[in-house]
Amino acid sequence: MRSKEILLALIISLLSITQLWAAGDRDIAQSPLKPYLEKSDFLVVVFMASECPLCRNYALTLNQLSEQFDPAKVFILGVFSEGMDTPESIEAFYQKYRVKFAHLIDKNNILVELLDANVTPEAYLIDQNGSILYQGKIDNWAVTLGRQRAHVTKHYLKQAIAEADQNKPITIGKTKAIGCMIQR
């Protein structure tokens, strides 16, 4: 009898997620990101995990970006997967690395699925209409997992933000993010 209850709960859960997108509603502008899209001209979403070494290393870079741009112009949001982090682990991460940008917990991986995120940290630059202008690496510091450059030579996310802010075409719209796999 217990397995039937579990199966029923699973089916109900899947139906609720499916109904969320049933009408073809994969519109980012109508997703849980909507309140954040309304706060500024551009939204930077970075998928994070408190235990990911690259996320720890990029906390300073993301803090610098959040200080460099006016939040009314560019709002930076760290997104933590519910399956990978707890409010306590996120709070400890924010305190230890003195993180200054906002965050949310992605319940049921809705944003992971919506944006098709695969690793942490993976960055997205999104305009107010919900169009993804850039997706991928923050910069080229991480070459592969466990191998980094001595110096960053390409600032992909920062460049995309600057180009979008100046109404210029985005030179590099997508890179392959390197990092810790997001649990689905």
DSSP class of residue 161?
H
Q: Is the pLDDT of residue 141 over 70?
A: yes
Q: Which two tokens stand for residue 138?
A: 């923050």
Nearest in space to 76 (alpha carbons), one of 106, 33, 32:
33
Beta bridge partners of 106: 81
Q: Is the pLDDT of residue 134 over 60?
A: yes
Task: Tell the burial category of 97 from Cβ atoms under 10 Å away from its Cβ (0-12, 13-18, 19+).
Answer: middle
Please state, rounded to an integer, the average pLDDT across all residues of the chain: 86
| pLDDT higher at 14 or 180 | 180
CATH number of the domain located at residue range(s) 27-181 in this protein: 3.40.30.10
Q: How many residues does the chain have?
A: 184
For residues 54 and 120, the answer to whether their CB atoms sit within 8 Å is: yes
44-71 average pLDDT score:
96
Q: Is the pLDDT of residue 23 over 50?
A: no
97-112 average pLDDT score:
95
Neighbours of 143 (CB within 10 A): 10
Neighbours of 155 (CB within 10 A): 17
- Side-chain-side CA neighbours of residue 63 (13 Å): 12
Assign 26 a pLDDT band (cuts: 50, 70, 90).
low
Query: Cα–Cα distance between 68 and 158 in angstroms, integer?
Result: 10
CA-based radius of gyration for the chain: 17
- pLDDT given for residue 145 in this prediction: 80
DSSP class of residue 157?
H
Q: Where along the chain do its domains lie? A: 27-181
pLDDT in tens, 45-58: 999 999 999 999 99
CA distances 66 to 41, 87, 93, 111, 180, Å, are 14, 22, 17, 21, 23
Distance of CA 46 to the CA centre of its chain: 3
State how beta strands 119-120 and 102-106 pair. Answer: unpaired
